């Protein structure tokens, strides 16, 4: 049993003691010095001892506090008296732990390693902030209290909803628990996150703030969360007049259909032709055309992308094949235009052959893009596995949120690429993995259909980076 000394006065101290009485804690012995008008004579608890005197008197306080106490608690309504009592207690004991309630912003006591100051204003402010929408709720009274423990509610439309925990990259942070209604569940890899769930997450405070923003982002945001703008790189010398015109036209249409902020067009090696005239005549206040007359190469793409907050890079399949390692290093989605017009695209396509986790990690991005382009989506299965079944369930749930029709095509024997190769009005979503970024001489022998993306390169393709 430990002895704890409580110096109490004021409304906060009164409520604290009343709560302590109700708890009927008999583990420790409490010595209470009441210096106000509160009357505790009716309290009949064996482990409480009460005194009434002015604790700013060192001699009187010494008579009570000179015995062994494991902790001193100071809760007074006057700041001057609080500091006086603290100084008295420190003369009595140099190393006893002291908890002091601070209502006034007292300073100058930071050097005392055995003193804990409870700033009531900070506690109340933090609690009031918890009731505001879209404000991170952090645990101030657990752990280090630096924001390493946080709660975040998953809104309808979040990129985290209807995803299995195993599909979420958790680097320097973890989902520890999920609260659903009045129940709680320990986080497991196969547990699916639903709209309205409250996630208990732990990790680096700065990382948790980034995770909080990611969870709260709603639908209709693509190319966010990768960035806010679209970027087109044109080398008029190597690409030629017709291709430059086509890339510009398709980029302007994407800029019109997607919820991005600006379109940035970088032109190197400009030539005086029809493409140049069209670039000079771009009449959109949210589009910026930048000419480089000094022969800069593709190396400037990386600087442009990060300087201009780019979330989607537009190019053609020939440029993608030649520079896919550079594009992979950007960690941004890349749209390679097909032979048809974007207005002629009839549906989005996802190919699965047992590599479901890669696609599921960016499934909300895929559904968001299809929603903005107003097209249904088809999920093709080649073979069958448990991962495919989970992904099908996942996409079906997302389809309800995004208001998109989803069709699931299963075939254990026939490769869907053979069926889709003749079509020209598709938008294929391809996970942009490290394998895709390398030369792949053996892709033709692989069961991973995404490695065979080049066979559908006559269609629109969006390569989405996978962490």
Q: Helix/strand/coil (H, E, C) string of 374-402?
A: CCCEEEEEECCCHHHHHHHHHHHHHHHHH
Q: What are the strands of the beta sheet with 29-34, ordered from one edge?
A: 48-51, 29-34, 3-8, 71-75, 97-102, 115-119
Q: Using an 8 Å Cβ cutoff, are 289 and 279 in contact? A: yes
Helical residues (DSSP H) of 217-355, grouped into ranges: 236-239, 241-257, 274-280, 301-307, 317-330
Non-local CB neighbours of 420 within 8 Å, separated by 6+ positions = 349, 380, 426, 456, 459
Report d(CA 30, CA 21) in Å as an integer. Answer: 11
Q: For the chain, how many residues are written?
A: 467
Domains along the sequence of the chain with CATH: 2-123 (3.40.50.720), 133-216 (3.30.70.1450), 229-336 (3.40.50.620), 342-465 (3.40.50.620)
- The whole-model pTM stands at 0.61
Report d(CA 430, CA 322) in Å as an integer. Answer: 17
392 is written with which tokens? 């099908």
> What is the mean predicted confidence (pLDDT) over 378-403?
63
- Exposure b/e, 288-319, CB count within 10 A at least 16 = b: ebebeeeeeebeebeebbeebbbbbbbbbbeb
pLDDT digit string (tens) for 126-137? Answer: 778 777 777 777
The answer, yes or no, to whether residue 388 has pLDDT greater than 60, is no
Q: Using an 8 Å Cβ cutoff, are 346 and 415 in contact? A: no
Q: Nearest 10 degrees: CA dihedral of 289, 294, 300, 306?
A: -40
The answer, yes or no, to whether residue 442 has pLDDT greater than 70, is no
Residue 246 confidence (pLDDT): 93
pLDDT digit string (tens) for 231-284? Answer: 999 999 899 899 999 999 999 999 999 988 899 999 998 989 999 999 999 887
Non-local CB neighbours of 285 within 8 Å, separated by 6+ positions = none
């Amino acid at each position: 049993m430990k002895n704890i000394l409580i110096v109490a006065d004021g409304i906060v101290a009164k409520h604290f003691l009343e709560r302590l009485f109700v708890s009927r804690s008999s583990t420790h012995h409490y010595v209470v010095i009441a210096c106000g008008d509160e009357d505790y004579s009716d309290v009949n608890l064996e482990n409480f001892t009460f005194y009434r005197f002015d604790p700013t008197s060192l001699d009187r306080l010494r008579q009570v506090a000179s015995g062994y106490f494991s902790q001193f608690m100071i809760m007074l309504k006057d700041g001057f008296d609080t500091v006086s009592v603290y100084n008295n207690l420190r003369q009595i004991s140099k190393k006893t732990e002291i908890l002091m309630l601070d209502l006034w912003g007292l300073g100058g006591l930071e050097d005392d390693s055995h003193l804990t100051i409870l700033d009531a204003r900070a506690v109340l402010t933090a609690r009031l902030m918890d009731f505001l929408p879209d404000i991170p709720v952090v645990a101030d009274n657990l752990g280090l209290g630096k924001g390493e423990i946080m709660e975040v509610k998953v809104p309808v439309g979040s990129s985290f909803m209807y995803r299995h925990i195993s599909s979420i990259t958790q680097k320097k942070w973890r989902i520890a628990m999920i609260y659903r209604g009045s129940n709680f569940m320990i986080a497991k890899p196969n547990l699916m996150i639903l709209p309205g769930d409250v996630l208990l997450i732990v990790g680096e405070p700065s990382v948790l703030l980034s995770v909080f923003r990611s969870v709260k982002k709603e639908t209709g945001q693509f190319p966010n969360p990768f960035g806010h703008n679209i970027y087109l790189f044109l080398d008029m010398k190597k690409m030629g007049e017709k291709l430059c015109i086509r890339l510009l036209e398709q980029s302007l249409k994407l800029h019109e259909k997607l919820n991005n902020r600006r379109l940035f067009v970088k032109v190197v090696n400009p030539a005086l032709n029809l493409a140049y005239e069209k670039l000079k005549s771009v009449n959109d206040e949210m589009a910026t055309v930048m000419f480089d007359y000094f022969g800069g190469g593709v190396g400037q793409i990386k600087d442009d992308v990060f300087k201009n907050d780019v979330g989607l890079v537009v190019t053609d399949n020939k440029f993608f094949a030649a520079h896919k390692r550079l594009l992979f290093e950007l960690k941004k989605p890349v749209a390679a235009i097909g032979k048809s017009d974007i207005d002629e695209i009839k549906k989005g396509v996802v190919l699965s052959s047992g590599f479901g986790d890669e696609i599921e990690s960016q499934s909300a991005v895929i559904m968001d893009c299809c929603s903005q382009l107003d097209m249904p989506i088809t999920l093709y299965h080649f073979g069958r596995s448990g991962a495919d079944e989970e992904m099908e369930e996942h996409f079906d749930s997302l389809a309800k949120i995004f208001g998109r029709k989803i069709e699931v095509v299963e075939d254990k024997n026939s490769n869907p690429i053979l069926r889709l190769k003749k079509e020209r009005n598709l938008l294929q979503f391809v996970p942009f993995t490290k394998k895709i970024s390398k030369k792949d001489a053996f892709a033709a022998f692989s069961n991973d259909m995404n490695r065979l993306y080049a066979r559908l390169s006559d269609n629109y393709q969006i390569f989405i980076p996978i962490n």
